[in-house]
């Protein structure tokens, strides 16, 4: 059964365009509230289910928060408002406050004109498919407001940021600290703007914060994990040891060393995995995605660490981790999941796991990845006709086969349709950069000819 509104990461789109309109979002809140109210929560007859709402710093967050709140209250659900907090903070606070669900208003690393709604279960995990289907089904029925005596109430959680700061700090060993480290922390003018610097400062680091002046329109604009140039320059200007960049909702991470070199999710996941493996604390193996660099796969296998690939998207990484009963996985984009520390990907907690490895081993970022050299990877987006399956075409298959023969086991070819646009993503990687570019462009050209 396919979802009509829910994608891999909730409901997302441009604000003011269906479905990200106040009318739809209010109905979404109402439908979610009715599904929650119908579940068996062991609540007393006088208690309503409770839902936490958090948001990032987009100006549209006010609009959508009010719409969600109205829909939930109409369904007889109590609403707890956390204000601007990172997505993983909502997952944590939902569990900590023993609420029935958490809702995040965010479009993550997208520009401010976009926004989205995503849900967490009472356990701080993504909603199961059957709950999403039930919420979508409820959107087909009109809103029928509960009797006044059964309406929900709203309450603001004034200490949401402080609670989450303490939770992040608890993920770092108590016998280690960050004294003597100078960090530049880039919060992308996003949800972590008033949180991240305090976490690292309270653990002893000298912190320079950038990307911490949100105005509702500048989230992810030239700052953060998807635009690290300002962080790289700031690290050099302030003669810092390390730079840390989060994205707009705080669940994605990249880092920079003192020389301004950028370390992506593959580098950082490797540092955590190798350290835990050496300490004997790595449970099972590591999950990456179809986009995880082949050199990462080879490097962890040399260490004797099992490795598996999931589809692209942290939702699929999580699903495979749960199937394997493993704890560590991530994407090269910077989503890293440490299930022994949190129920979801968390940029701040992932940064602390990297810093733990560096402090424990007395290493720099460069030293920690000295035995990992990522292969050149070329990704080309080729426009195709909507619904067309170019990968089944004989000439495309032949081009892929030729590339794989030429790479001779020292590279990889991946053709992946975009989930949101009429594009085919052509990815080629391997040890030889010139071969990689040649074959990526050759395959892309064949796809254009048949598209």
Active site members: 108
Count of C-beta atoms within a 10 Å radius of residue 433:
13
- Point out which residues pair with 377 in neighbouring strands: 429
Strand bridging mode 101-105 / 50-55? parallel
What one-character DSSP code corresponds to residue 69? H
Q: Which are the contacts of 169, defined by CB distance < 8 A and separation ≥ 6?
A: 199, 202, 203
Residue 217 CA, distance from chain mean position:
21
Secondary structure E strands in 320-394: 328-330, 336-338, 377-383
Q: Which are the contacts of 438, defined by CB distance < 8 A and separation ≥ 6?
A: none
Q: Which are the contacts of 32, defined by CB distance < 8 A and separation ≥ 6?
A: 51, 71, 72, 75, 101, 103, 119, 135, 138
**Residues 38-45: contacts with CB under 8 Å, at least 24 apart:** 39/100, 41/100
Alpha carbons within 13 angstroms on the beta-carbon side of residue 434 total: 0
Question: How far is it, in rounded angstroms, from Cα 208 to Cα 197?
Answer: 8
Question: How far is it, in rounded angstroms, from Cα 123 to Cα 92?
Answer: 8
């Amino acid at each position: 059964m396919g979802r009509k509104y829910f994608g891999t990461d909730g409901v997302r789109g441009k604000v003011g365009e269906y479905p990200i309109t106040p009318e739809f979002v209010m109905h979404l809140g109402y439908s979610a509230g009715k599904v929650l109210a119908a579940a068996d929560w062991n609540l007393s007859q006088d208690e309503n289910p409770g839902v936490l709402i958090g948001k990032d710093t987009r100006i549209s967050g006010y609009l959508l928060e009010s719409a969600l709140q109205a829909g939930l209250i109409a369904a007889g659900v109590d609403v707890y408002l956390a204000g601007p907090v990172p997505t993983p903070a909502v997952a944590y606070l939902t569990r900590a406050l023993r609420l029935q669900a958490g809702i995040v208003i965010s479009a993550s690393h997208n520009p401010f004109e976009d926004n989205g709604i995503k849900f967490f279960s009472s356990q701080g995990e993504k909603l199961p498919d059957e709950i999403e289907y039930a919420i979508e089904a409820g959107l087909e029925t009109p809103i029928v407001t509960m009797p006044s005596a059964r309406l929900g109430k709203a309450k603001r959680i004034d200490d949401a940021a402080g609670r989450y700061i303490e939770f992040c700090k608890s993920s770092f060993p108590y016998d280690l600290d960050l004294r003597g480290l100078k960090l530049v922390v880039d919060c992308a003018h996003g949800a972590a703007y008033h949180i991240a610097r305090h976490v690292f400062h309270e653990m002893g680091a000298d912190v320079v914060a950038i990307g911490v002046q949100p105005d509702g329109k500048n989230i992810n604009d030239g700052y953060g994990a998807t635009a690290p140039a300002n962080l790289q320059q700031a690290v050099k200007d302030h003669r810092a040891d390390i730079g840390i960049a989060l994205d707009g909702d705080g669940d994605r991470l990249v880092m920079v060393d003192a020389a301004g070199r950028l370390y992506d999710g593959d580098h950082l996941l490797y540092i955590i995995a190798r350290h835990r493996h050496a300490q004997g604390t790595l449970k099972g193996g590591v999950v990456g995605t179809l986009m995880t660099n082949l050199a990462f796969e080879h490097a962890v296998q040399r260490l004797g660490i099992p490795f598996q690939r999931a589809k692209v998207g942290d939702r699929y990484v999580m699903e495979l981790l749960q199937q394997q009963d493993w704890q560590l996985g991530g994407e090269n984009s910077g989503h890293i999941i440490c299930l022994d520390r949190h129920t979801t990907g968390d940029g701040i907690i992932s940064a602390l796991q990297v810093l733990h490895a560096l402090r424990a081993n007395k290493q720099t970022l460069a030293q920690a990845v000295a035995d990992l050299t990522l292969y050149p990877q070329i990704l080309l987006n080729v426009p195709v006709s909507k619904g067309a399956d170019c990968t089944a075409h004989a000439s495309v298959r032949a081009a892929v086969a030729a590339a794989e023969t030429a790479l001779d086991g020292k590279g990889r070819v991946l053709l992946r349709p975009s989930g949101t646009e009429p594009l085919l993503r052509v990815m080629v990687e391997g040890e030889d950069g010139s071969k990689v570019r040649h074959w990526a462009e050759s395959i892309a050209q064949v796809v254009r000819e048949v598209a």
